[in-house]
Amino acid sequence: TGELGYELHVPTEHAARLYEAIWDHPAAEQHGLQPFGGHAVNSLRVEKGFKVKADLDYAHWTEAGIEPFVKLKRKAVHHFVGRDSPAPRTRHAAIFEVDAPAEYAWSVPGDSPVRDASDAIVGFTTTSALGAVTGRTVALGYVKLDEQGQLLATPTHSGLYLECY
């Protein structure tokens, strides 16, 4: 998420005791320690466009917008599927700001089709969250490219809407 944080993994039987020991220690208050959960982490990462798991399942790494994180020229790069074979680019990673009523702010499902004003499917979502910083619903996904490699729509294009089931 870009925020300084730590995730501790301990056997279940030790979790409560460790939690109490951390919060009861004077350094916790001194350093402004704050707890946060999985939804908070997910919210922050979606707002920042950080992709994990299902956000990467639908596209080749060259389409997913993660090129800065893939260092092919390093000696220690291990083989991974798609490393040596660039895929034809058929989609482009996108962040959509969703105009959702408050009662549905958390309910944009992944794999929702993104349609344009003519009802054509121009993309899809992979995940969404109510932004902790912006307070707006944000979805990650992909926009399709035409045969010339141009976006069928831009994520900020007015007239786009999500078809939620």
Query: What pTM, to 2 d.p., does this model score?
Result: 0.74
Burial 139-155 (b: 16+ CB within 10 A, else e): bbbbbbbeeeeebbbeb
Residue range 52-162 in CATH 3.40.190.10: no
The tens digit of pLDDT for each residue in 23-74 reads 999 999 999 888 878 888 888 889 888 888 888 887 888 888 888 887 777 6
Edge-to-edge strands of the sheet including 121-130?
91-98, 137-144, 121-130, 113-115, 161-162
Domain spans of the chain, in order of start = 52-162
What secondary structure does DSSP assign to 19-47, as a single string?
Answer: HHHHHHSHHHHHTT-----HHHHHHHHHH
Nearest-angstrom CA–CA distance, 162 and 110: 10
